[in-house]
């Protein structure tokens, strides 16, 4: 017999309603089933709370007189008692027996009803506990979902800001204002270079690329100058590797007309101190 079938016999086992064979089979199953053991204990506790009383049985007529006659030694009373007992119909005794019989069945019925009520209460409490656990889990999931939603909203807001910045950048695209070739400042110089002027929303940018530059020694460095009417403004320094070097410089526009690169003894000068290597006039004043 399966565990499910055996578990259905718990109530009848506690009430003593199983046959001898069914009871033996259930007790064999009970030895190895902790779940059924727990149910039996619960149902026994419920039954134990019931007032198992029965209706008093009415004594047969004449019993009282016989007892008194025996105590007092009244033989005549005994004869009278026998006559009364023989003359008394037996129906009251049977009625009392029937009352006792139905009383016992009534107690069993009340016990069974109380047991079923207890079982129902236990089951209902179990369902309530499960619902409370499910509700708590749902609330936790809702809190997690709200947290994720806030994080997503923040990401969307940040993405929108980046998109707005990109749109502004498209509205104000990069402009190549000038591209000039840097020519050697003397006949014995083989170096060459390119200067590019770019304007965008962040300002004006100078990008210089130089090739075949003279080899540097010690602290020497190449320095770039922007000039206006012969007045130089330092645009930064750079070093070369295998004769190649580059520089990026951001500045404010101010009518510059010439760009030049000089070879300086170090990178700390505020005005040209060394020989000019490359130079070019800007086609548009910056």
Higher pLDDT, 83 or 203: 203
Residues sharing a CB contact under 8 Å with residue 200, sequence separation 6 or more, in sequence order: 169, 172, 173, 174, 175
Report the pLDDT averaged over residues 184-190.
93
pLDDT at 169 over 60: no
> What's the average model confidence in pLDDT over 138-153?
91
Q: Is 206 exposed, middle or buried (0-12, 13-18, 19+ CB in 10 A)?
A: buried
Cβ neighbours around 147 below 10 Å, total: 10
pLDDT of residue 61: 55
Q: Tens digit of pLDDT for each residue in 258-270?
A: 999 999 999 999 9
More confident residue, 77 or 219: 219
CA–CA separation, 262 vs 235, rounded Å? 11
Confidence class of residue 285 from pLDDT cuts 50, 70 and 90?
low
Cα 193–chain centre separation? 61
The dihedrals phi and psi of 23, each to the nearest 5 degrees, come to -65, -40
Query: What confidence tier does 8 reach under pLDDT thresholds 50, 70, 90?
Result: confident
Greatest alpha-carbon span in the chain: 171
Per-residue pLDDT, averaged over 127-147, amounts to 91
Looking at residue 90, the DSSP 8-state letter turns out to be S
Residues 220 and 242: their CA atoms lie apart, in Å, by 15
Per the model's pLDDT, the better-predicted residue between 64 and 246 turns out to be 246
pLDDT score, position 127: 85
Please answer whether residues 61 and 84 qualify as being in contact, where contact means their C-beta atoms are separated by less than 8 angstroms.
yes
107: Cβ–Cβ under 8 A, 6 or more apart, which residues? 52, 53, 54
In Å, how far are 169, 174, 199, 232 from 163, measured between CA atoms?
10, 17, 21, 41
Instruction: Check: pTM over 0.85? Answer yes or no.
Output: no
**Would you tell me how many other CB atoms lie within 10 Å of the CB of residue 106?**
13
User: Cα–Cα distances in Å, from 66 out to 59, 71, 133, 184?
Assistant: 12, 9, 70, 154
pLDDT tens-digit profile of 94-117? 444 455 545 555 656 666 677 777
CB-based contacts of 42, cutoff 8 Å, min separation 6: 118, 122
> Residue 50's pLDDT is what?
61
Q: What is the pLDDT of residue 183?
A: 95
């Amino acid at each position: 017999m399966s565990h499910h079938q055996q578990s259905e016999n718990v109530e009848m086992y506690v009430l003593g309603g199983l046959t001898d064979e069914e009871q033996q089979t259930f007790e064999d199953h009970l030895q190895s089933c902790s779940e059924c053991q727990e149910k039996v204990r619960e149902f026994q506790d419920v039954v134990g709370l019931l007032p198992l009383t029965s209706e008093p049985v009415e004594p047969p007529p004449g019993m009282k007189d016989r007892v008194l006659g025996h105590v007092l030694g009244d033989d005549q009373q005994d004869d009278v008692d026998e006559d009364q007992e023989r003359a008394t119909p037996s129906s009251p005794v049977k009625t009392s027996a029937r009352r006792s019989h139905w009383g016992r069945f009534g107690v069993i019925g009340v016990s069974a009803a109380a047991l079923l009520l207890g079982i129902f209460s236990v089951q209902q409490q179990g369902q309530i506990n499960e619902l409370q656990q499910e509700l708590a889990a749902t609330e936790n999931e809702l809190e997690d979902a709200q947290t994720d939603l806030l994080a997503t909203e923040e990401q969307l807001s940040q993405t929108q800001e980046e998109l707005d910045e990109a749109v502004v950048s498209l509205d104000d695209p990069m402009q190549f204002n000038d591209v000039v070739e840097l020519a050697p400042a003397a006949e014995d110089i083989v170096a060459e270079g390119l200067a590019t002027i770019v304007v965008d929303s962040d300002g004006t940018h100078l990008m210089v690329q130089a090739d075949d530059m003279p080899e540097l020694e010690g602290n020497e460095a190449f320095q770039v100058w922007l000039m206006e009417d012969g007045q130089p403004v330092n645009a930064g320094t750079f070093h070369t590797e295998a004769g190649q070097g580059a520089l990026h410089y951001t500045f404010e526009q101010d009518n510059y007309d010439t760009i030049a690169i000089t070879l300086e003894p170090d990178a700390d000068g505020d005005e040209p101190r060394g020989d000019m290597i490359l130079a070019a006039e800007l086609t548009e004043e910056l």
